[in-house]
Every structure is written in C-alpha cells, then in structure tokens.
Amino acid sequence: MKNPYRPILTTIQEITIENEAQDLKTFRLGFCDADEGNGFDYQCGQFAELTVFRVGECPIGIASSPMDEGILEFTVKRYPDGQVTNALHNCAVGDRIGVRGPLGNWFPLERMEGKNVLIVGGGFAFTTLRSTIRYILHEANRKRFANLVVLYGARNPGELLYKDELKAWQGRDDIEAHITVDKADDESWTGHEGFVPAVLEQVAPSPKDAIALVCGPPIMLKYTLPVLEKLGFGPTEIITSLEMRMKCGIGLCGRCNIGGKYVCIDGPVFTYEQLQALPAEM
Amino acid sequence: MADSKMAKAKLGEFLAAVSADYEVYGPKADNGVVTFGRIASADELALTYSNSTVSAKELFLPKTETVYEFDGENFVDDPLPEQKRVVLGLRPCDCRALTLLDGTFDCERVQDPFYVTRRANTVLVALACDRPLSSCFCTATGGDPYGEEGVDVLLSDEGESFLAKAVTDRGKDFLEQYGKFFSGKAAGKWAERAKAASGKMTCDLSLAEVSQRLDGLFEDDMWERVSQKCIGCGTCSYLCPTCYCFDLIDDKTATGVKKIRRWDCCMFQSFALHASGHDPRPITAARFRQKIMHKFNYHPQRCGLNSCVGCGRCVRACPVNLDIRQLLGDILAAAPSAASE
C-alpha cells in the first residue's frame, strides 16, 4: 500500500528571485529518482505539498508546464509568519526538497480545446495560469486552442512575475498579452496602467466560444468576476482556483472545507457556478 | 458457530490463551476514568462500566503516530503496525464509529496504510450495552445498545457468564479458535436482552433528517447564539469516536525527521489559519458551525451517514454543559420550510 504522506525527493536546481521586494522566488526542482520523476504526471492547475525536512510542509501550485519535461517549478511567496515559506526562501541550490503530489483537480483543458482562451491573473496568483499559458503555447498544443488572450497585473513593474516570459509573449503573434500595473513608478513602463478589472473592461475580450481562467487576490476576484459576467461570460465559462490551508492534501485532515467541499480534492479549481453555490467561508 | 456462552470463571484462562496469539486490549479503570489499554490478565479488565471515558478510536488512530521517517538521506521503512490484536469489551457504538472512520481512511480514493493495517489485524469483541447512560443517544443516530455494525463478536453480560455471538467471518473464526472456552448451543435470550436495553434509551430524537434541515442553515444567526458558551477547548472532539481531523508536524531526529500525524480539532483557533494571516473561520461561531455541519451535513453529503454514533461522551465531558442533543433537537424542530430553503 502506497504511503500517501511520504514525499518524493528532489533537489533545487535553480532559484530565481522574481520581484523587487524579493519575497517571491521560483524554485526549479529536479527529481532525485528518474522513475519517480516520470511518475509525477501532472496537469495545469494542480498543486503539490512541498516539504522542507525538519520544518514542515505547505501547499503550492505548480508553475511549470506538463510539457517541461523532467523539471518542476514552484513560485513561493515568503510570509513573515510562514514557517515553511521562510525555510524555503532560505534554501540554496542543491538543497533537498520533498514533493508530494500532484494533488487536486486541474483546469479543464479538454473542455477548452478549440475555444478562445482568456486568462486573467493578478499578483502572485499567476503561477498555475503561467503553467497553463506555457502549456497552450507549446508547439505541440497551440493549434488545439483558438485565440489566447492574457491579462496580467501587479502592483508595480517590479512586482511582475516571469518578466522574461512576459516580454517574449508580447513579441509573439499567437498570444495577445496585456500587462498592467496598479501604478507605473517606472518611466520606461509601456504597458497598461490600472487595476485588472478596469483594464479588462477596456480590453473587452469576446465571450464567444470562450473560457476564462481567473486567479488573483480576493479583492481582484471580487471586482473582476462581475466584469466577466457583464462581458457575457457564463458561470460555467468562468473558472478560478481557490487557496486554503491544505495540510494533508488528500481529503483527510479536515482543514480546507468550504461547505461540503474539500479544496484539496474537489478543487482547487472551481467554476464560478460552483463558487456561487459554496457558503461564504473563504 | 451459533450462539455460545462462556462462564466468567473461565475469563482468565481464556485471556491467557488469546494473549498467546494476539495483543489483547480492553477497558481499564483508573480512579473512575476508563480507557483502553493492553491487558495482561483478567483482573485488569474493567467490564462493569457503562461506557469508557475515552473511546477506542486511538487504538486505530493514535493521538500521535509517525507516518514516515527520513534520516537525512533516505526514508526509513514504514513501521506498519502488523501485530495481530484483539480489542475486548468495547461498546457497539465505538465499533460503529470505526465503520464511519473507514469511509475516510479506507476509501476508494485513498487508504491510510497505518489505519488500514490496524483495522485488518484487529478482532473486535464488543460487549453489548445493558446500562446505557442518560447521556447516551445511539438509537437516535441509527445505532443500538446491541448493535452489530463493525462488531466481529458480540458479548452480552448475563451475570455469571457472557453470551457470545459471531457477527462476521472473522468473529466466527475467532470463536472457533477458542471454542474450548465456550459451550456451544447456548440458547441466549438475545432478543429480549436487546429489547430491554434499547428500552432504557431516553433520547427520542431521530437524526436521519438533520442533514437535510441543515442545508439552509449555514447563514442562520443561530450559530452565534448556540456557540456563545463554547470555550473551544476541543474536549468533545478528543473524546469523540468519529472525529478524525489531524495535523502533520515535523519531529526532528539527530539527522532527519519523523513526520507525525497528531490529533487536531476544528474548534481550535489556529486550525484553518493561513500563513498569510487570513483565517476563513476566525470566530467561535464559525468553528462551532464547522463542527456541527461537518458531522451532520458535509459528512452525510460525502459518505451518506451522519458522523455521530450517539455515544454521549461530548455531552458528559463538556466543561460548559453544551448538549448536542438539545442543539440537534432545535434544528429538527425548526420549520422545515425555513430550513430547506
């Protein structure tokens, strides 16, 4: 019988400091055992429990794409009170990290095939969306989806994640990337300025044959979901991902309930329709 | 094997024989507190209690348990609890509770190897309940003082002897294995005894409909009211035979770590707190609601049954005298139209 609590071993191959505040780092992990790595078969939108041995475990969305063979990336925000996120940020290349997963459900990529895809992200909740964009942009997949429109916002230019990739996307003709910042404190900024919901209203992507994936801080979601509805996206065509304290990640420990749902096994991905049926306890 | 009987005078001999093949656990009394522990001889067994103070849950889901050990380089082999065990003298409500835990720890989706191994290696020899307490309400939850769910062998205390009945194949094998201690073909008065016992139950609630009633009550202002005196101590959860929430913590060793699964409780303040400081259930009323909804609404949604066997331990032990029967009674009495909106 498989022990569902035991992680598999990885080593940190690369650490990227993502933002000016330096509290967001992307960890590229390599599997210590190639077989275990091949068995780690994940989908866009899933998460894993990351273990810093002798400290603890925390749930983090997978930021790499299933098409990125042999590697696994996680972008982790360091919280002052977060024991594991602090320990992760103190890790160095070569350190050993445990990974338990992949866990949870995923974005409905099969349902999105042949459709226009709108991706709206804010702040550091952009990680599993980045996974999805990388997946769709992969040459083996790009033809399976119609237009890809991305709107991504952060507080200021220095807080944007994956800056090199954002630049590369803007140079491609098979993705329409809108990058916005709440406030452009940098004179060389050429992107949008303004909050995500406002820019979304300006860009006004068509809801026709389209599915929207939206992830961001609660305040962004609160104002963005109504804009999507106004644009004509139906409640089953709007898809988001929730965060909860998911300790075991396998539906046992009882922590991540929202009503009768466990975010760790019934989510983290929910449609807006499902979200509206859940009690307000997030 | 049909019904049989064992003279109490033979209990010592019987236990000695069983102990040669199994680890034997049973109720032990210490200053009136009855808990389950290893039994070496018959005089350690406390079989006259109404119900044990603490449930037999921890024999299957210990308060703390190592779920893996990493020595800094490699994982140490899982120490699976493979010894064969007999638990003697637990009540039918506690056996039924284990069948509810099975739905979580041994389901199609996930199996907890430690729990599953213990369940597979343990024979449950239950003692039917002839003296239910005024706080007991097993019949309200669908159980019975002579209930057989989860039971391998059911005993009934007849005074000078125990009536014995095999419920499962495992129970049948067990009674056959120790057949020389039992006189066969004893026509026990099971039905009469069971009827007399259930006749002593004082709670006339029927909780089958509670789940449905709770559907519309999440936003109700009752939660603030009913949780007002709760101090969030978690005693109810720790004594509950069906509560199973746990924490996973790191216990450092010289070079590595043991990952410990430790009982936790949804009534505790830090239970759902995020690293960011956000807490989805920041007040007692929200946590109290979570506990009741989980037992009587969410669990039925997922597994089809209320997560309560009516053992009454939470009623007896609550330091501020919260009585779950009163709360459930109020929920049932609420106008169905208002509740099911």
CB of B195 closer than 8 Å to CB of B13: no
Q: Do B112 and A6 touch (CB under 8 A)?
A: no
Which residues of chain B does A263 touch, with a Cβ-Cβ cutoff of 8 Å?
Answer: none
The pLDDT, as a whole number, for residue B335 is 59
Percent of chain A with pLDDT over 90: 93
What is the per-residue pLDDT for A32? 95
- Pair B258, B65: CB distance under 8 Å: no
Check pLDDT > 50 for residue A259: yes
Same domain, yes or no: A149 and A34: no
Q: pLDDT band at A186, cuts 50/70/90?
A: confident
- A-chain residues within 8 Å CB-CB of B119? none
Any B CB within 8 A of A57 CB: yes
Q: How sure is the predictor about B336, in pLDDT bands with cuts at 50, 70 and 90?
A: low
- Residue B340: band (very low, low, confident or very high) from pLDDT cuts 50, 70, 90: very low
What value does the mean pLDDT of chain B take?
93
**CA–CA distances in Å: residue A234 to residues A145, A238, A239, A273, B331:** 19, 7, 10, 8, 36
Pair (A121, A89) in one structural domain: no
CB contact A54 to B (< 8 Å): yes
Residue A269 lies in a domain: no
Average pLDDT over residues A98-120: 97
Judged by a CB distance cut-off of 8 A, whether residue A219 touches chain B is no
Evaluated on CA atoms B105, B107, B108, B109, the torsion sign reads negative
Cis before A102? omega within 30: yes
Distances, alpha carbon A24 to alpha carbons A44, A102, B22, B167, B212, in Å: 20, 22, 55, 59, 45
Tokens in use for B214?
């709770």
Residue B184 has pLDDT above 90, yes or no: no
Q: What percent of chain B has pLDDT over 70?
A: 96
Question: Does position B250 have pLDDT exceeding 50, yes or no?
Answer: yes
- Is the backbone peptide bond immediately before B81 cis, with ω within 30 degrees of 0? no
- Closest residue on chain B to A55 (Cα): B250
Instruction: Determine, yes or no, domain membership for A267.
Output: no
Q: For chain A, what is the largest distance between any 2 Cα atoms, rounded to a whole number of angstroms?
A: 59
Per the model's pLDDT, the better-predicted residue between A178 and B77 turns out to be A178
Amino acid residing at A81: D
Instruction: Show which of A103, A134, A164 is a domain's final residue.
Output: A103
Mean pLDDT within A25-36? 95
A259 vs B contacts (CB less than 8 Å): 218, 293, 298
Question: In terms of DSSP bridges, do strands B23-30 and B85-90 run parallel, antiparallel, or are they unpaired?
Answer: parallel
Tell me the pLDDT band of B186, cut-offs 50, 70 and 90: low
Find the closest chain A residue to B117 by CA distance.
Answer: A1
Residue A279 reports pLDDT greater than 80: yes
Residue-wise pLDDT for B113-130, tens only, equals 999 999 999 999 999 999
Mean predicted lDDT score pLDDT of chain A: 95
ipTM of the complex: 0.91
B22 to chain A, minimum CA–CA distance in Å?
A: 23
User: With an 8 Å Cβ cutoff, are B247 and A254 in contact?
Assistant: no
Pick the last residue of a domain from A103, A134, A155.
Answer: A103
Closest chain B residue to A6, measured at CA: B68
pLDDT bracket for residue B187 (50, 70, 90): low
Residue A252: inside a domain, yes or no? no
Using the beta-carbon criterion (under 8 Å), do A244 and B272 form an inter-chain contact?
yes
- Please tell me the distance from the alpha carbon of residue A259 to that of residue B287, in angstroms, as a whole number: 12
Look at residue B47 in the predicted model and tell me its pLDDT.
86
Q: How many domains are there within chain A?
A: 2
- Residue B246, pLDDT score: 97
Size of interface A-B (CB pairs under 8 A): 110
* Domain of A75, in residue numbers: 8-103
Q: What is the CATH number of the domain that holds A162?
A: 3.40.50.80
Model confidence at B147: pLDDT above 70: yes
Using a CB-CB cut-off of 8 Å, the residues of chain A touching B273 are 245
Same domain (yes/no): A160, A216 = yes
Tens digits of residue pLDDT in B41-97? 999 999 888 899 999 999 999 999 999 999 999 999 888 999 999 999 999 999 999
In the predicted structure, residue A123 carries a pLDDT above the cut 90: yes
Residue A114 burial by Cβ neighbours in a 10 Å radius (0-12, 13-18, 19+): exposed
Name the pLDDT band for B341 (thresholds 50, 70, 90): very low
Stated as kind and residue range, the H or E segment containing A100 is strand A96-103
Question: Cβ–Cβ contacts within 10 Å for residue B223, how many?
Answer: 21
One domain for residues A24 and A119: no
In a domain, A274, yes or no: no
| Host H or E run for residue B235 | helix B235-239
Sheet holding A71-77, edge to edge: A56-61, A47-52, A96-103, A8-17, A24-31, A71-77
Separation between Cα atoms, residue A222 and residue A252, nearest integer Å: 30
pLDDT of B297 reads 95
- Are A118 and A231 part of one and the same domain? yes
The verdict on A205 and A171 lying in the same domain is: yes
Domain stop point among A103, A124, A158: A103
